[in-house]
Chains A and B, each alone.
Chain A
Amino acid sequence: MFEFIEYLTRGALVGVTYGLLAFPVSLLFSTTGSVDVALGAYAVLAAAVLYVIGGPLGVIVAIGVAVFASILVGLISLRLNRPGHIDHIIAVLGTFGLATFIESFILTVFGTNPMIRQPFSTFWDIGGIRVSPQMGINVVVCLAILSALFIVLQKTPFGRAMRASAVNPVGAALNGIPVKQIWFATYVLGGFLAGVAGVLILYTTGADYSTAFNLTIWGFGAAIIFGMHGPLRGFAGGLVIGIVQALSAGYLPGGWATAIPFIFIFVILSLGRMNQIAATGGRV
């Protein structure tokens, strides 16, 4: 039982970063109807840059690099899509190209070694469970960012415009809302959040070049578990994914431990959580 609670805690604490990745997934999907497969790659890129530079400067440069990469994707999607003619799949393909590029870039420059930094040598003892203070930092950073975003989305004109272009891009464009700029901003926001997630991941579980697609999958899974309606659901979804990972790593033999979380997301996908926008609702 104690073991179980320990896995639960560990998993939840790792899952916090997935919650951070889940937010851009759901925001982008509801705003543009597309998916940025390169999110995980931004995160790994940020982790790699910070691994090399280090320190507060490293953090800033790392997030900056992630944002830069997402700007590229934003520009590509601006070129390929416009209100009234949105080819989601082609935009996804573009992010695939970028993800492949970044992955190969990291492999070429940084090699196959895992990148991890553990700044804390002391541990907190919470009811017998050893927890790194880094975990505390993760939770605080994630909650702070997500709450800030929540307020921005609900209370500011920018947030309203963003939600309007999510519901009806053509209508929003007719009402003078710069839909394309909003889409662009959504991609870049995704890059920023992924960059932050990458920084936290470097200090927590570490990353290597091959983590990129996995991180995208975790973020994606976290986003769809409870439906794509806002950052807090994605945060909760992240916790669930983290816990599933920790539990399967704790209780299952080698291969299954890594496979089960993927299969879990597969099952969630087949429950059709992503399809609720379908044909109903609104004029045909």
Chain B
Amino acid sequence: MTVRAENVTVRFGGVTAVDNVSLTMERGQIVSIVGPNGSGKSTMFNAITGMVRTAAGSIQLDGARIDSRPPHRRIALGLARTFQTPRFDPQITVEEAVMCGFYPRKACSLFASMVRTPAASAEEKTFRERCGSILSDLRLAPFRDLQMSELPMGRVRLVEVARAVANDPKYILLDEPAAGLARDEQKMLAYEVRRLADQGVGVLLVEHNFNLIRELAEHVVVLKEGRMLLEGTPAEIASDRAFIDTYLGRAGQ
């Protein structure tokens, strides 16, 4: 039960954004990708979710190759992701935004939704209830009727996480979810991410805050200029000379 990316290479025109990177995440495990801006972290996300085409390498989900499948099929297999720059419609409410995340769970046909069959009603009700509990888990319940545009960026990121969680994913890819959060909100997020992992969700986390990584991640992959610099446990990484020089020295503590 793993997502396995092997020797993935992504090119944009002449630029190689990701060069021969391999990465494995198990269900229930928290893996973190770190690296300076432009080192290919987000591109790795896009490669796994199918939003960019890989030039070489393979991506497997639970043993099946998915690199030729379109993004929506991969999401349907149990992947979910957030964006580094949150993408959202500023005019919808927080609740609506999270409700959008349930789409892959939808079982009712178009016709059933139109005539609102009892099954469709029940489904909508389940989604609303589940949405309510996700919102209160992430302490977003007080904001449910606010418009997205009225939220500070940190909370918008949390809504993104809630939206991804709504899919009930087996694997979740979080792109800098803690940026812009206050300390206690970071703690709450860390708790929720840990809880997700304990429930058996595989978490891939892009994060700049090494304290958070140390607290959460079991395995860390360091990228630099699209290549894998090193990997290991947070403790190993933190004591590595090369890592301290290129990364931690500037942005870490």
Q: Mark A271-284, 1 if CB is under 8 A from B, else 0.
A: 00000000111111
| Alpha-carbon distance A279/B13, docked complex (angstroms) | 14
A280 contacts which chain B residues (CB < 8 A)?
A: 51-53
Is B12 touching A282 in the complex (CB atoms < 8 A)? yes
Q: Is B167 an interface residue (CB 8 A)?
A: no
Closest to A279 in B: B51
Is A281 touching B13 in the complex (CB atoms < 8 A)? yes
Is B42 touching A283 in the complex (CB atoms < 8 A)? yes
B12 contacts which chain A residues (CB < 8 A)?
A: 281-282
Closest to B49 in A: A284
Is B43 touching A283 in the complex (CB atoms < 8 A)? yes
Is B42 touching A284 in the complex (CB atoms < 8 A)? yes
A281 contacts which chain B residues (CB < 8 A)?
A: 12-13, 52
Q: Mark B29-43, 1 if CB is under 8 A from A, else 0.
A: 000000000000011
Choose among A279, A282, A284 the residue that contacts B83 (Cβ–Cβ < 8 A). Answer: A284
A283 contacts which chain B residues (CB < 8 A)?
A: 42-43
Is B13 touching A284 in the complex (CB atoms < 8 A)? no
Number of B positions contacting A (CB below 8 A): 10
Closest to A281 in B: B12
Within 8 A of A (CB), among B9-64: 12-13, 42-43, 45-46, 51-53
| Alpha-carbon distance A165/B83, docked complex (angstroms) | 24
Q: Mark A98-137, 1 if CB is under 8 A from B, else 0.
A: 0000000000000000000000000000000000000000
Closest to A282 in B: B12
Which of A279, A280, A283, A284 has the most CB atoms of chain B within a 10 A radius of its CB?
A284
| Alpha-carbon distance A282/B45, docked complex (angstroms) | 13
| Alpha-carbon distance A281/B14, docked complex (angstroms) | 11
Which of B43, B45, B52, B83 has the most CB atoms of chain A within a 10 A radius of its CB?
B52
| Alpha-carbon distance A281/B13, docked complex (angstroms) | 8
A284 contacts which chain B residues (CB < 8 A)?
A: 42, 45-46, 51-52, 83
Within 8 A of A (CB), among B59-105: 83
A282 contacts which chain B residues (CB < 8 A)?
A: 12
| Alpha-carbon distance A278/B42, docked complex (angstroms) | 18
B46 contacts which chain A residues (CB < 8 A)?
A: 284
B29 → chain A closest CB, angstroms:
25
Closest 3 CB pairs of A and B: A284-B46, A280-B52, A284-B51
Q: What would 14 more interface pairs be, CB under 8 Å, given A280-B53, A284-B42?
A: A279-B51, A280-B51, A280-B52, A281-B12, A281-B13, A281-B52, A282-B12, A283-B42, A283-B43, A284-B45, A284-B46, A284-B51, A284-B52, A284-B83
15 residue pairs of the A-B complex, CB under 8 angstroms, read A279-B51, A280-B51, A280-B52, A281-B12, A281-B13, A281-B52, A282-B12, A283-B42, A283-B43, A284-B42, A284-B45, A284-B46, A284-B51, A284-B52, A284-B83
